[in-house]
Chains A and B, each alone.
Chain A
Amino acid sequence: MEKSRAGHAADSSRPDFGRRRFLGYVLAGPTLVAAAKLGVGTGTAEAAVPSAPEVSEAYDLNDLLRDAALPTSGLITVAVNPDGTASFDMPRLECGQGVSTLAAMLISEELSLPLDKINVTLADARPELLFNQFTAGSNTTFSMYTPIRVAAAIAKGQLLKAAGQLLNEQVHRLEPVLGAVRAPDGRELSYGELAKAAAGHEVRQVDVELTPSSNFTVIGTPRNRTDALEAVTGRKQFAMDIKVPDAMPTMVCRPPTIKGTVESVANVAEVRGMPGVTDVATIATGVAVRARTFGQCIDAVRALKVSWNQGTVDGMSDKDVLADLEKAEVPLAVPEVPVLARTVEKKFTFYTRDNAALEPQCAVADVRDGKAEIWAPLQAPILTQQKVAGLLGVPVSAVTVHVTPAGGAFGRKMFSDPVLEAVEASQQMGKPVRLMWHRVDEPRQGRAHPMCTSRIRATYLGNEVLTFEQRHTSVATDYTQGFGEVITNMAGEIPPLGQGNELGYSVPVFHLTVNVPYKFGAVTQLLNEIYEYDRIPSGSMRNLVNPDVRTAQELVVDQLAAEMGKDPYRFRREFADDQRALAVLDKVAEAGQWGRPMAPRTAQGISVHKEYKGAIATLVEIDCRPETVNRKVRDAVTGPRVTKAVVAVDTGLAVNPRGLEAQMQGGLMDGIAQALTSSKHLRNGAFLEASWDNYAYTRQWNAPFDVQIIVMPPTTGQPGGAGEFGVPSAMAAVACAYARATGTMPTSFPINHNDPLFFEPKPYEPPLVQSPTDGLTKY
């Protein structure tokens, strides 16, 4: 029996949080448009201030992303339309994390308009927003929470004012009710009727008071996604579903090794003559073919005779990269501690993981007459627009970038790789293209969370942990998406050899996101990287370094607890460094019945994590009995199974608890995958994986039967991040449970990476496989 109970811990007090008066604007126009500056109102105080703040607690990545946004002049606007609906063109990507629904909820709250009357669309690239059109770091809710509400509240104020004049009533006697303004005598004017009357004639600054949290009727209540109906009927349009005239299917013939390049193509004319094929063009990353159907693109790609130049890691395998990492590892310090102190020292290896979504990399591009129009799911549309302009040598204003909803993003869609390919192909062919990566391309040539090692040395004496040092050494992560804007992007690409990337981004990002959530004595954490930032295609993956960093820590914490004779939960309770962490820990221990008797080779694991202005704890139960581990599913990785999970999450304020629950469930599946089953193997300059049956992300046969997510009552009153928050504590809890069930601490992840391969690697030349034909008999 699987269950998922969305518990909501009691919330009786409903305290009011923070400042509520803000400035915004009424813009001039034919209908009412209210606006606010992004970045406004994200500075209210935290309820819980940790005792000895580390960098990431006092000033974390969310602050950085927010503050980077402050000086920009861009406004976000909420319009009230004559048909009584409101619209908001959101400068963020909806990629499944539910930000469109969140935005609609905030507007609904402040505008007193039902959710189904609010249309949230995804804004085209707006270069004037500078840093503020970048979907990353689970930052969207945090940075837009106040601005959206300010704009909506101003809109409501203007509607009330207009109604006062039309009804000849004092404004304070009027009441907004579900899309209309009502006078005490029952007369009503709908928002639609008022929209034009309330419109501004010039830009005006207005100040507004937001709804106090004690009066919330929408924020904090569980709501379904606003795009759910479209999703379940197949009507939701992703980039490849959009009908752009003549934008025909296009695929790229890619090199057999990572980042190889085209030397020459022997049979262009022959391939151009194949059924359905219209064009063949060599682009930076390979040879693009355009055809009537994607199936015919695959045929054409397979028929191309291409000579390839070397790639960036030809001949290299996992073991070579690991050796290079080990050479670069910074020695752990010998701590100055009393001679009687004992030391725990562990080293962990984390193999390469793929950040591909189910929707492949894709883009529609129409490049003609010195202009470009793009449709693509993009986390950083402004940067994309600038890169396209640079590539074509045209002004930014000649490039229009439409953002489409993403079929998952996870960091992969931070980069403009497929857009640049589509633009190059369209330009050379002189025709619009609908470019999509084949699934084989995704793990083979796509970006990945790179391989790394993490070493920890901790010392303890009596009841105290004296020192805790962590040294993280990683293949470079490409952060050149910077803050989504070309100026920071340039800084990331500064030579020599990506040092700009490491010193400019990787190291600061590391320090802004990592911490040790325990009261230990001297804590130090360091990161260093090897290789140029773009040697192996990389990027962040549903969280940055914390799945690895925290998994290493939590395993060592269990070891410390064992050596100090303490229970893992009690140990964490005793050392947890703030109240919110303690509260989520207690919650999962209670709801998950920590310490209940378990059969041999099954066990519980527990972890706690702080990030994104929040706290989260996860308790899992794992089954490592031979009959479970060896269960057979066709072409699948089975192995140990997480049977149950309980997650308690405090994001400060859950705007939509149902959406937050969904994000935690998803994060849990990622954590399970990263601990147990999913990695890429580098062999001879290329990755072996080429399919979802090779790269073993969690599947139904790996999913827990019983998942319980507990959303904690509001603590800070400010919503923190959610999309990536579930992953680190889930991965850590699974690793800890596995160690307890088997009696052996795992030291390399996923735990099956060095087992015999469970699949036959697909060929590299030709680079794609054609679809089978037995689908009527094989399902």
Chain B
Amino acid sequence: MPQHTFKLNGEQVTVDVEDDVRLLWVLRDVLDVTGPKYGCGINVCKACTSHINGKAFNPCSVRVTDIEPTDEITTIEGLPGTVGQPLHPMQQAWLDRDVAQCGYCQPGQIMAAVDKVRKARAEGREISDADLDEIRNVCRCGTYTRIREAIRAGAEHM
């Protein structure tokens, strides 16, 4: 069985699995990293949102063979590590606003939020309503209002 290696939350990992298995299943079913959630498997619901080399992506829609050994994958579990804190400021903002209801969508929401803020910053601006309107992550519990507030608050500490 083919071997694949990449950096996951700061550690180099190697897995034996067929080339075309999507990274989400490699994370969840093979490596037991269950922070990224399954909600659709077709790049729609965004529950699995994680980062590759610091940018948001959806591991349900990437084959493990397309990940390079030098690629750095960050899931919600590894997000605090990127700032060397027990919690990333966006996670803290989520706690402060008590955003989560069932919580199923929230790892993906937080990873998407961090990415949104980074992208806006790269373009030299702050998060706007238009940016927030672009977030595709489904929250079936309807926590959208607190998500919008928390992203703005979290951005202030990023």
**Other-chain residue from B28, B55, B137, B145 in contact with A704 (beta carbon distance below 8 A):** B145
Q: Are B139 and A662 in contact (CB under 8 A)?
A: no
Residue of A275, A439, A776 near B62 (CB, 8 A) is A776
- B28 nearest CB across to chain A (Å): 8
Taking CB atoms, residues of chain A closer than 8 Å to B57 are 775-776, 779
Main secondary structure of the interface of A (DSSP, over half): loop
Q: Are B146 and A697 interface neighbours, CB within 8 A?
A: no
Q: Judging by beta carbons under 8 Å apart, are A231 and B103 in contact?
A: yes
Q: Knowing A234-B34, A408-B140, A703-B144 are in contact, say whether A771-B60 is a contact too (CB < 8 A).
A: yes
Residues of A within 8 A of B102 (CB): 95-96, 357-359, 405-409
State which size class the interface on A falls in: 35 or more
Q: How far apart are the CA atoms of A434 and B132 in the complex, in Å?
A: 35
- B42–A769 touching, CB < 8 Å: yes
Residue among A96, A231, A249, A693 with most chain B CB within 10 A: A231
In the complex, A319 has a CB within 8 A of chain B: no
User: Quick check: B142 and A357 within 8 Å, CB to CB?
Assistant: no
Q: How far is the CB of A228 from chain B (nearest CB, A)?
A: 5
A666 at the interface (CB under 8 A from B): yes
A236 on the B face (CB < 8 A): yes
* Chain B interfacial residues counted at CB < 8 A: 75
Are A700 and B135 in touch, CB under 8 angstroms?
yes
A772 touches B43 (CB 8 A): yes
Residues of A within 8 A of B146 (CB): 4, 662, 665
Give a binary string over A756-779; 1 marks a CB under 8 Å from any B CB, 0 the rest.
000000000000010111111011
CA distance A194 to B43 in the complex (A): 54
When distances are taken between beta carbons in the complex, the residues of chain A under 8 Å from B148 are 2, 700, 703, 705
Alpha-carbon gap, A701 to B139, bound state (A): 12
Within 8 A of B (CB), among A66-99: 95-98
Chain B: minimal CB distance from A122 (Å): 13
**Interface flags, A619-659, vs B, CB<8A=1, else 0:** 00000000000000101000000000000000000000011
Q: Is the CB of B22 within 8 A of A662?
A: no
Which of B39, B63, B129, B140 contacts A773, CB < 8 Å? B63
Give the docked Cα–Cα distance between A272 and B23 (Å): 23
Which residues of chain A have C-beta atoms less than 8 A from B76's C-beta? 232-234
* B25, A232: Cβ atoms closer than 8 Å: no
Query: In whole angstroms, what is the CA distance A272 to B34 when docked?
Result: 27
Residues of B within 8 A of A779 (CB): 43, 55-58
Check A18 for interface membership: any CB of B closer than 8 A.
no
A230 to B100, CA, bound (A): 10
- B39-96 interface with A by 8 A CB criterion: 39-45, 47, 52, 55-63, 66, 75-77, 80, 87, 91, 94-95
Is there a chain A Cβ closer than 8 Å to B17's Cβ? yes
* Interface residues as binary, B123-158 with A (CB distance below 8 Å gives 1, 0 otherwise): 000000100111111111111111111000000000
Cα separation A276 to B76 with both chains bound (whole Å) = 27
Q: Among B41, B47, B57, B141, which residue has the most Cβ atoms of chain A within 10 A?
A: B141
Q: For chain A residues 596-640, which have a beta carbon within 8 Å of chain B?
A: 633, 635
Residues of B contacting A410 with CB < 8 Å?
140
| Stretch of A151-159, A289-297, A330-338, A466-474 on the interface side | A289-297
Question: Which B positions have Cβ atoms within 8 angstroms of A?
Answer: 17-18, 20-26, 28-30, 32, 34-45, 47, 52, 55-63, 66, 75-77, 80, 87, 91, 94-95, 98-107, 110, 129, 132-149
A-B contact pairs, 14 of them (CB 8 A): A98-B101, A232-B100, A240-B34, A249-B29, A293-B25, A359-B104, A360-B38, A407-B104, A408-B102, A439-B39, A666-B141, A697-B138, A700-B132, A773-B63
